[in-house]
Structure formats: C-alpha cells, structure tokens
Homo-oligomer: A and B are copies of this chain.
Amino acid sequence: MAYTLAELAQHVNGRVVGDEACVIESVSTLDSGSDGSISFLTNPAYKKKLLKTSASAVILREADIDYCNVNAIVVEDPHSAYALIASLLYPATTKKHGIHDSAVVSENSQLPDSVWIDAGVIIGDDVVLGENVQISAGTVIESSVTIGNNSRILSNVTICHGTSIGEDALIHPGVVIGSDGFGQANNHGTWLKVPQLGNVVIGNDVEIGANTTIDRGAIEDTIIGNNVKLDNQIQVAHNVQIGAHTVISGCTGLAGSTRIGKHCAIGGAVTIVGHAEIADNVFITANSLVTNSINEPGVYSSGIPIDTNKNWQKNSIRFKQLDKLAKKIKQLEKQIELLEAKE
C-alpha cells in the first residue's frame, strides 16, 4: 500500500513538516531508510541517527524536529503513531474465505461464509465462529469453543473444549488454550488427578504469543481481560485472572489462582507464586520472583545480575552466611558501644 505523508499524518492526528505529497510505501529503521520509507524516533538517544537517515520521512516529537533533515510527521507519541501507520501500510494478509478441502469441520458447527479455515484444520462439535474469523493450517479447535469476530488463530494451535475467545484476537502458532490445570491430590503417597472442570474465558483484542499455554480453571474459569498482550512461552495456570490492558513478556510463569490487576507490565521470566494478588499499575522487572501479593502500584524487582564467575562464587557463598553476618554486625555494635561508654 502507498499513502501520501498528508494522508498518513491525518491518520494519526499529526502535523506534516515538509512535503505533504511525498509518497510513503514502506517502513524502515533510521539506519536503513530508503526512498519511500518512513521511520520513527522515540528514544532521544538515537537523535544523531536522525541527522543521517535516508528515510523519506520520520515520525517524531515536536522536540526533535530540529534534528530532522527529511520530511516529518510530528505527533505526541511516535511509537503509537508508527504502529498505526505501519498497520495501514502493511495490512494483515489478504483475507480468504471458505473452508479448505482438507479441513475437517464437524457438521454440528455452523460457520459463517466469511471465515477462512485453512488446510488441515480440525473443528469439533458445537463450535461457534464469528464473522471473518481466520484459522490457520494444522490448528485444532475442540468442541464447544466460541471465537469472536475478526479473530485470527494461527498455525498448529490447540484450543481445548469450552474455551471462549473474544473479538480481534491474535493467537500465535503452538499456543495451547484450555489444557487441564495442574490439580493433583496426594492420597497416601499416590497422586490422584483432580478433574479440571472450568474453562478459559478470553476478552477482546487479546494477543497470545507462540507456544504460550493457558490452563482451564479447576472449578471456575481462568480469565484473561480485554487488550491483554501475552508474549511467547508464558505459562498461565488454572484460575489465573489477568486484568485488562496488562502486558506480560516471554517465559513468565503465573501459578494457580494468581490475580493480576489492570494496566500491569510484567517482565520476562518472572515467576509469580499461586494465589498472589497484584494490584493495578504494577511493573515487575525481568526475572523477578513474586512470593506475595503486591498491594501498591509501583516498580518491583528481584534477582541478582551477573558478575564474573570468580566474584559470584565468593559472593554467593557469603549469601548463605548473611544472617550470621548481620548478627555479627549487631554484636560488634554492642561491643563498640561498651568501649565508647568506658572512655
């Protein structure tokens, strides 16, 4: 697709500085700009790249306009504006409609004409798909699943029975939604399976990254709010609730019955233990361990950043003496107090 700078600026409520008729047909980084490409600047650290860019135009903030030798669209938030413009320039793949010959669709599932069911897809009984739903190759939709309008389920995904997914979802390859939660009862040393009878209920405008897993609830449902964005390889255990507009980065694990608030940002490889409740607007940095509820908004962290192996070996041994060292310090304080008193 191609648009003039004026059209693009209008699309993002921005202001053109330079040639409004300039035709844009691709995006680029500042470094790799070319004729007809548009780039963006959010991080002021890259200002000097702006000076040298060969992109045809750059999306930027008012404050950065002086560093720009090419056309510009001035906006408040260049990252959002870039997202909107890139979506316009590169619309999601041309939509097909119909059902591929090799797909297996239960006759009990009524699909609108507007859906696209790709090769090798398998759709069970009583599945309800909204308008324009797209299911990519090799994906399995089990019985009694509901998927809202315009949602796209990519390849080799498994959506287990009874799952409900809202509108405008984007589910990446290898995702599993609605697998059994990890419910095991110890009966004199032998583990008995606790049937997992709840479902997974997912709101609108949710994106779920490759190979992420979301378990069904034990009795009640696992719930993912509107506009939640999950990265790859996240584990969401049974009965977790994730509030609207929360983003979670890759490799993070949420144990059973965790409740995450709205507008949270959870970093990658975070572990949150079961039944923790996380307030709205909480930010947790990568690799943190959350063993308790967090009641106040704010930024939270844990973990030990790397050191040379030699130093780490010494220090990690000392960690195991920390309590003793702290007590020794207390004792030294007393001794010094005594010495001082005697003078």
| Chain A residues close to B by CB (< 8 Å) | 27-29, 32, 77, 79-80, 82-84, 86-87, 90, 93, 100, 102, 104, 118-120, 122, 124, 136-140, 142, 154-158, 160-161, 170, 172-174, 176, 179-180, 182-187, 189-195, 197, 207, 209-211, 213, 215, 219-220, 227, 229, 231-233, 235, 237, 245, 247, 249-251, 253, 255, 263, 268-269, 271, 273, 283-292, 294, 298-323, 325-326, 328-329, 332-333, 335-336, 339-340, 342-343
Contact = CB atoms under 8 A, between A and B. Distances in A.
A-B complex: 10 closest residue pairs judged by Cβ atoms: A158-B173, A179-B210, A299-B309, A314-B323, A318-B322, A80-B187, A301-B312, A176-B210, A251-B253, A83-B185
A289 B27 CA distance: 33
A184 B316 contact: no
Nearest to A212: B211
Contact of A339 (B102, B310, B317, B340): B340
Contacts of A290: 305-306
Contact of A138 (B140, B172, B328): B140
A271 B288 contact: no
A268 to B, nearest CB: 5
B235 A235 contact: no
Given A90-B195, A251-B253, A305-B316, 15 more contacts: A32-B219, A83-B193, A137-B140, A138-B138, A184-B229, A191-B245, A191-B247, A213-B250, A231-B235, A271-B286, A300-B306, A300-B307, A315-B321, A328-B333, A336-B339
Contacts of A289: 286-287, 303-306
A326 B327 CA distance: 12
B307 A304 contact: no
A233 B213 contact: yes
Contact of A142 (B155, B229, B283, B332): B155
Interface centre among A118, A157, A197, A286 (most CB of B within 10 A): A286
A83 B316 CA distance: 36
B336 A332 contact: yes
Contacts of A332: 329, 332-333, 336
Contacts of A312: 300-302
Contacts of A179: 154, 172-174, 209-210, 232
Contacts of A170: 180, 193
Given A197-B86, A339-B339, A315 B305 contact: no
A342 to B, nearest CB: 6
A119 B138 contact: no
A315 B323 CA distance: 5
Contacts of A298: 308-309
Contacts of A207: 180, 184, 193
13 contacts: A29-B220, A32-B219, A77-B187, A90-B195, A104-B119, A160-B173, A174-B211, A176-B232, A180-B207, A304-B304, A314-B322, A319-B319, A325-B325
